[in-house]
Amino acid sequence: MNIVWLSLIILAVLTAAVRGTMPEISKAAFTSATTAVELSLGLIGAMSLFLGLMRVAQDAGLVQALARLLRPLFRFLFPSVPQDHPALGAIALNLGANMLGLGDAATPMGLKAMQELQTLNPSQDTATDAMCTFLALNSSSVQLVPAVVIGLRAAAGSQNPSEIILAAILATSCSTLVAVASARLFSRMPYFKKSESQPGGGAQ
């Protein structure tokens, strides 16, 4: 992450120096910072709503029931998480919301899942294998119906806006499989070994 972050900024400044876009990038730095804060604060509403709803579902035992249903899958994906851990319930809800294309609901559940996974983490500033797998799952998109782009297609006058659904499901299955498989593979590589990660090293 250190290298990626620094590279983005260095490339930006170098390109700006050559192209004379310096005023644009300094303006972009400030507007992006403002956008970041607005986005974070904007999340609070949906976050509170869905975390509230999730607590009700938890108290009613619904979340645990869902997690039990998915137990075989979770045992394979997150072998380090105990079977009845609340993290698995939150992960189940996050994946469910993602599949249905409910981004507003998926993010709060995902963050809740991360908090629960953090309770199992021996070194609080370093990601565990379960966290990395969960992130890879989430960032590879598991949604079945890409509602946003279908809406965009409809607005642009497509004859059949939803014709891409099958193709998207096929492509997203590939991306999810590869993301999870490579997470599993990387977790075994000495370079990414958790115990050996020193400040700055092994934590790209």
Partner 1 sequence: MKEFFQAASNWVVPLLLVGIPLFAFAVKRVKVYESFIEGAKEGFWIGVKIIPYLVAILVAIGMFRASGAMGLLVAALRPVTGLIGFPPEALPVALLRPLSGSGTLGLISDLFQTFGPDSFIGRLVSVIEGSTETTFYVLAIYFGSISVRKARYALPASLLGDLTGVAAAFIVCSLLF
Which 76-95 residues touch partner 1, going by CB under 8 A?
none
Euclidean distance between CA atoms 114 and 124, whole angstroms: 12
The residue (of 83 and 118) whose beta carbon lies closer to partner 1 is 118
Euclidean distance between CA atoms 204 and 78, whole angstroms: 22
Please state the closest distance from residue 84 (CB atom) to partner 1, in A: 18
List binders of partner 1 among 134-153 (CB under 8 A). 134-136, 138-141, 143, 145-150, 152-153
List binders of partner 1 among 163-202 (CB under 8 A). 163-168, 170-172, 174-180, 182-183, 186-187, 189, 192, 194, 197, 202
Would you say 134 and 91 are in contact if contact means Cβ atoms under 8 Å apart?
Answer: yes
Q: Per-residue x/- mask for partner 1, residues 93 to 132, rule CB under 8 A?
A: -------xxx--x-xx-xxx-xx-xx--x--xxxx---xx
Other beta carbons within 10 Å of 110: 21
Residue 69 binds to partner 1 (criterion: CB under 8 A): no
Please state the closest distance from residue 191 (CB atom) to partner 1, in A: 8
DSSP string, 3-70: HHHHHHHHHHHHHHHHHT-HHHHHHHHHHHHHHHHHHHHHHHHHHHHHHHHHHHHHHTTHHHHHHHHT
Residue 70 binds to partner 1 (criterion: CB under 8 A): no
Choose, by CB under 8 A, the member of 53, 66, 70, 120 that binds partner 1: 53
Reference 153, options 143, 145, 164, 141; nearest CA is 164
CA dihedral 167, 173, 175, 180 (to 10 degrees): 180
Residue 73 DSSP one-character state: H
Euclidean distance between CA atoms 204 and 191, whole angstroms: 10
Choose, by CB under 8 A, the member of 43, 70, 99, 120 that binds partner 1: 43
Q: Which of the ranges 71-79, 80-88, 161-169 carries the binding residues for partner 1, by CB under 8 A?
A: 161-169
Choose, by CB under 8 A, the member of 72, 122, 157, 190 that binds partner 1: 157
The residue (of 8 and 69) whose beta carbon lies closer to partner 1 is 8
Please state the closest distance from residue 82 (CB atom) to partner 1, in A: 18
